[in-house]
Amino acid sequence: MSKELHLTFHGAAKTVTGSCMEFSFAGKNILVDCGLYQGSRSLERLNHAPFELDAANIDAVVLTHAHIDHSGLLPKLVAQGFNGPIWCTKPTQDLLEYMLADAGRIQESEAGRRNRRRDRAEYLAITPTYTEADAIAAWQMTETAELGEWFAPVSGFSARFWNAGHILGSASVELLANGVNVLCSGDLGPDNKSFQQDPSGKSGFDHVICESTYGDRAREQITAQQRKERLQLEIAQAMAMGGNLVIPSFALERTQELLLDIGKLAVAGQIDNVKVFIDSPLANQITKVFAAHSGQLADTDGTNIFGNSAFHFVEDVNVSKKLNTVKGAIILAASGMCEAGRIRHHLLHNLPDKNSTILFVGFQALGSLGRTIFEGAKRVRISGRDVSVRAKIRQIEGYSAHADQSELLEWIEERRPINGSLFLNHGEAQAIDLLRDIISAKNPLSSIITPEIGEIYELKSCKSARRLKTGNLEIQNALGKDWQNAYADFAVNLKQELAKIKTEAARQKAIEEMRLILESYAEHKKKR
């Protein structure tokens, strides 16, 4: 039993998904977030691996918001023995009812789909990380607290929520235990974001844990009107080409922001009579939650702005498949990083079409399919099929739900004095390191820590955090791109590269040499 407050990083350290921190004191253990890893196959495998914590020994969870990379392993936690309360804001609770159930269905369907693939016939069957029933059980354990209201997640700990300005219901979490005051930022929204007020909070903490997603970039500051004008231009250019405008969009918040702007453009007659298909049952449910909370949202005037006649909410999978024959439409589908869901179906049919446009409106994690497409891949592999990329690839950054570098620096500055340590997490290594260097150069802090997954720290009042345990090297090695990303890129381009070789004999020789290289690695493994 620890006599001091301890902090363990179980996820989102040197990566942007899998958020999970464990705080332990006097025999009590609480988690701040319990999120799903998203990105490469190696990273996704961490979702299936045993927890690095004892689920039955966790007394409570305090959740910053409903995004799956922060909440998506709650059902697994429950399935493995957790039986405590999951604290969150009321809007987050309402969103989780649909987010977690959908995640459970995706886990089951993705496992089934992969098991049916012919190229997996010789492998052991994949089991889902958790089921829809596990997800519903997790949602039923949620309890709510208002912003600014102190509550006791478990004896020995006090907590309260501060507005994080990221998505509906998002919050930073302030914790007080053993006389130590800690603030976990959660994901922070940018200034002047649609629907949300700017992030808020008090100043003066012992320790602050801040996300760093965009710690390496300062976005161009554009107004809501300028962003809407850019969207109008993208729509006009895409429709002029005669193909579809396909937008990979997160079901939660991003889809609703896009509908807000598209609806305003349509009402003002600034875009032609374009049909908009929202092909995501989850996004459709989430939109209803937004409508129910419209009185709390900025930019809506307290009205339901999602009832535009141009909007067609697609539920049935057969209707979704019929969109293969549609041209000249806007198709919004999840997931935003193209890792699962119906967006992969639409990419299969629109990426090879030179008249179609793929518009990215959000962050694409390293190793994700979205990142691969955005970085200029000529061919990609989707659901076991090689797909040529002929569509026009575009991006609008104004829809980001994350604070950029300057906004993160401003938020950190407003939390001073920080009397112990500032932890920078939830970012790729490059983003974290650059943000640390800027803070150190501009307005130094005595202790800035960039934690690794698996590290444990002792937290005391008015003292720098002390590392008690080093990180988990195996998990660290799974971050970012993996061999399967490299294999997919190699495999989809292999035939074209072989075709560039002038003679049949030379092509055959190249294949034989590649086979010998592979066999040499196999022989090397046998000798070890």
- If you average pLDDT over residues 115-131, what whole number do you get? 80
- If you average pLDDT over residues 301-327, what whole number do you get? 89
SS (H, E, C) 218-284: CCCCCCHHHHHHHHHHHHHHHHHCCCCEEEECCCCCHHHHHHHHHHHHHHCCCCCCCCEEECCHHHH
Average pLDDT, rounded, for the chain:
91
User: What pLDDT score does 287 carry?
Assistant: 94
User: What pLDDT score does 302 carry?
Assistant: 66
**Would the pLDDT of 25 be above 80?**
yes
Is there a contact between 227 and 262 (Cβ–Cβ < 8 Å)? no
**Would the pLDDT of 523 be above 70?**
no
User: What pLDDT score does 44 carry?
Assistant: 78
d(CA 15, CA 212): 9
**Torsion angle, alpha carbons of 331, 100, 127, 385, to 10:** 10
Within 117-179, where are the H helices?
132-139
Q: With bands split at pLDDT 50, 70 and 90, how would you rate the model's confidence at 93?
A: very high
User: What pLDDT score does 90 carry?
Assistant: 97
SS (H, E, C) 22-51: EEEECCEEEEECCCCCCCCHHHHHHHHCCC
Over residues 450-494, the pLDDT tens digits come to 999 999 999 999 999 999 999 877 666 666 555 555 666 676 677
Task: Report which of 93, 24, 105, 35 is spatially closest to residue 60, judged by C-alpha positions.
Answer: 24
Over residues 329-371, the pLDDT tens digits come to 999 999 899 988 899 999 999 999 999 999 999 888 888 899 9
- Span of 30-39, 122-131, 196-205, 411-420 with lowest mean pLDDT: 122-131
d(CA 85, CA 153): 7
Is there a contact between 375 and 367 (Cβ–Cβ < 8 Å)? no
Task: Report which of 418, 367, 454 is spatially closest to residue 185, judged by C-alpha positions.
Answer: 418
Going from the C-alpha of 107 to that of each of 94, 100, 128, 446, 479, the distances in angstroms are 21, 10, 5, 44, 21
Task: Report which of 304, 67, 74 is spatially closest to residue 167, judged by C-alpha positions.
Answer: 67
Amino acid at 416: R
Amino acid at 434: L
- If you average pLDDT over residues 67-73, what whole number do you get? 96
Report helix, strand or coil for 362: coil
Q: Residue 354 is encoded by which pair of tokens?
A: 């030179």
Q: Name which residue leads in pLDDT, 527 or 5.
A: 5
What are the residues whose beta carbons fall under 8 Å from the beta carbon of 9, sequence distance 6 or more? Answer: 20, 21, 425, 451, 452, 453, 454, 455, 456, 471
Is there a contact between 395 and 374 (Cβ–Cβ < 8 Å)? yes
DSSP-derived pairing of the beta strands 157-163 and 171-177 = antiparallel
| Cβ atoms < 10 Å from Cβ of 432 | 26
| Cβ atoms < 10 Å from Cβ of 427 | 26
Is there a contact between 338 and 347 (Cβ–Cβ < 8 Å)? yes
Query: How many CA atoms lie less than 13 Å away from 366 in the CB half-sphere?
Result: 18
- If you average pLDDT over residues 29-51, what whole number do you get? 87
**Would the pLDDT of 31 be above 70?**
yes
**Would the pLDDT of 528 be above 60?**
no
**Would the pLDDT of 526 be above 90?**
no
- If you average pLDDT over residues 139-145, what whole number do you get? 98
Let me know if 478 is exposed, middle or buried by CB neighbors in 10 A (0-12, 13-18, 19+). buried
Please state, for a pLDDT cut of 70, what percent of the chain lies above it. 94
User: What pLDDT score does 483 carry?
Assistant: 58
Over residues 217-255, the pLDDT tens digits come to 988 888 888 999 999 999 999 999 999 999 999 999 999
The CA angle 366-128-19, to the nearest 5 degrees, is 40
- If you average pLDDT over residues 404-422, what whole number do you get? 97
Report helix, strand or coil for 383: coil
- If you average pLDDT over residues 136-161, what whole number do you get? 98
DSSP label at residue 291? H
Let me know if 394 is exposed, middle or buried by CB neighbors in 10 A (0-12, 13-18, 19+). middle
DSSP label at residue 195? T
User: What pLDDT score does 478 carry?
Assistant: 61
Cα four-point dihedral sign 46, 283, 149, 155? negative
Is there a contact between 153 and 85 (Cβ–Cβ < 8 Å)? yes
**Would the pLDDT of 87 be above 80?**
yes
Q: With bands split at pLDDT 50, 70 and 90, how would you rate the model's confidence at 294?
A: confident
Q: Phi, psi (5° rounding) for residue 247?
A: -120, 105
Number of H helices, E strands in the chain: 16, 23
- If you average pLDDT over residues 366-389, what whole number do you get? 91
DSSP label at residue 154? E
**Would the pLDDT of 409 be above 80?**
yes
User: What pLDDT score does 137 carry?
Assistant: 97
User: What pLDDT score does 398 carry?
Assistant: 84
Is there a contact between 382 and 335 (Cβ–Cβ < 8 Å)? no
Let me know if 376 is exposed, middle or buried by CB neighbors in 10 A (0-12, 13-18, 19+). exposed
Residue written as token pair 């801040």: 210
